[in-house]
Amino acid sequence: MSPFMDSWVVTLGGLSILAFTSVLYIRYQNAVASINGFPGLRTVFNAFSVPGTLTRAIPGLSMPRMYKWEQKYKLYQKTGWDIYSGISVWPKATVSFSVADASAIKEIVQDKARFPKPAFAILALYGPNVVTASDNDEAKRHKKVAAPAFSERNNKLVWRETSRIIGEIFADWGDKEAVSINHIVDITLPLALHVISAAGFGRPISWQDEVRSGAQGAIPAGHLMSYQEAIETVCKGVFTRLLVPSWAMGFRTRWRKIAVAFHELGQYMSEMIESRRKEGDTIKTDEDGELYKSDLFSNLLAASDAEGVSGKGVLSEQELMGNIFIFLLAGHETTAHSLAFAMGLLACYPEEQQKLYEHINSVLPDGRSPRYEDIPLLTRSLAVFYEAMRLYPGVPAIGKTATCDTTLTINASIPSGADVTDGKHDQRKTVFVPKGTFIMLDVLGLHYNPRHWSNPDVFNPERFMKADWNRDAFMTFNAGSRACLGRRFSEIEAVTALTMILMRYKIELNGDLFQIIPGEAPRATRERLLKVTQGITLAPVRLPLVFRRRV
């Protein structure tokens, strides 16, 4: 190439870069003007785009993967308000707001027309469901059918199955004085899986046969995997399945197994739908004379068929499968990780563990296992679970979209160490929100907001023992019409598990796998022990514990 051509290439390249930079700059200026220059975060790439995902470690190009966890309430203190903006300019200009104000969040979740939930088609792996439905009428149709599935009978089945599985875990541990666990999630994940398998699908799994021995169960004709292996592989591989395109799932052995498991579970669900419809009213009763098939799957199918008889919103087979999969995903991982955090916190704060033990003894003075009727009385077990979810919420943020130009009235943020009651931070500001803005209900920011929670960084289950705690500032189970249908399912499972374990064992730090520093403050120990990572939900990286038999 001649020097003349070389110079033209360089010139054209320079002009292209200048034009591209100019376009990005104009996009940025227009975006800033659209929100009247409200302060916040500025990046080149949208964090959810491919380049945004690849450049998360580079400041200014994209948002770090764990920035919500790392910042919690700090970014609000920097802007001075319980809201901050976000602007990115590639692949297109995007404007967002993150909100940690309980009153503003309540307004947003209650006004479904102005702030609808965006479509999450990525979670429709088996079919549309109550979570992926963005249209309000469609969401109502799914919820009308799904809500009755979470019946009192199903709640009782959750208690019964949790009690059974914890009993099998105790039998597996035997008379050992101490049981060392490398990572408590290795206990809580299969525990939650077994509960959702029995109370969700009506298919109990034995801890002894399936977890301890590693047996995967028989493979029926026409299948490549047993039901147990399929459901376990799906639960472990769902994040991979969400991120990896279908055409690429055959590239690695593990990915191929996950793809097969998803197909197999879908086939099992189709067979169960056909089988349950054939059973009809002939479903057998349990030892208490109650219908055993009070699992979510059977209830959901019955509710959908009832809608069909009335000529209303019957769910298709794909929608039935989509909903039961969402219940499996939400009911499995979130509860398992929250239970893990709760037990890790009790190990870090032995005085709080003692308070819980004494409370349990006051409710169950005869030392018997809790009955279903005892669950509402075990208020401190629930308070510990709530406080763990406040500090470590499964979903750090919830998305909404503004359908029109609108405004939000926001409280001033509370500076670090400030007195919330002195009235110096009672100012409120009206913030303009342009049409199309993505709004993040910042669960972490809300849960660490000093306006709503006294000393929010402190592990203090006592705050949930008071009748007047702020329900609007606790978003672990979402809120409004899109609140989690399985909230009671999760609570009963957690209260039963925590209560039964604390009755028999002390939960301690595992000194063989985690450095115990004599005299260290519980908060410092907690920060070293409870490192987190973000997958589908917030999860502990590694949480080694010891369960020491009570004398």
Contact 307, 298 (CB under 8 A): no
Q: Do residues 337 and 345 lie in contact, with contact meaning Cβ atoms separated by under 8 Å?
A: no
Report all structural domains of the chain as residue ranges with CATH numbers, in order of start: 35-120+398-448 (no CATH), 140-395+482-549 (1.10.630.10)
d(CA 30, CA 154): 53
Q: Whole-model pTM?
A: 0.90
Q: Residue with structure tokens 């969401």?
A: 139
Element (H, E) at 400: strand 397-401
**Cα separation values, 477 from 56, 331, 378, 394, 489, Å:** 28, 11, 20, 9, 12
| The three-state (H, E, C) secondary structure of 72-99, written as one string | CCHHHHHHCECEEEEEEEECCCEEEEEE
Over its length of 551 residues, how does the chain's per-residue pLDDT go in tens digits?
A: 566 566 767 777 777 888 888 989 999 999 999 999 999 999 999 987 878 888 888 888 999 889 999 999 999 999 999 999 999 999 999 999 999 999 999 999 999 899 988 866 667 888 888 887 766 777 788 888 888 888 888 899 999 999 999 999 999 999 999 999 999 999 998 899 889 888 888 888 888 765 555 556 678 898 999 887 888 788 788 878 887 888 999 989 999 999 999 999 999 888 888 887 777 655 445 555 554 567 888 888 887 877 766 656 678 888 888 888 888 777 788 899 999 999 999 999 999 999 999 999 999 999 999 999 999 999 999 999 999 999 999 889 999 999 999 999 999 999 998 999 888 899 999 999 999 999 999 999 999 999 999 999 999 999 999 999 999 999 998 877 667 888 999 999 999 999 999 999 999 999 999 999 999 999 999 999 999 998 778 999 999 999 999 98
CA-wise closest residue to 232 among 201, 272, 270, 273 = 201
235 annotated ligand binder: no
Structure-derived torsion over alpha carbons of residues 16, 17, 23, 28, reported in degrees to the nearest 10: 180
pLDDT of residue 313: 65
Residue 291: its pLDDT value, please?
44
Which residue in this structure is represented by tokens 């009206």?
430
Q: What is the residue-wise DSSP string for 488-526? A: HHHHHHHHHHHHHHHHHEEEEE-TTTS---TT--HHHHH
Helix segments in 364-428, DSSP class H: 379-391
Paired tokens of 382: 């629930």
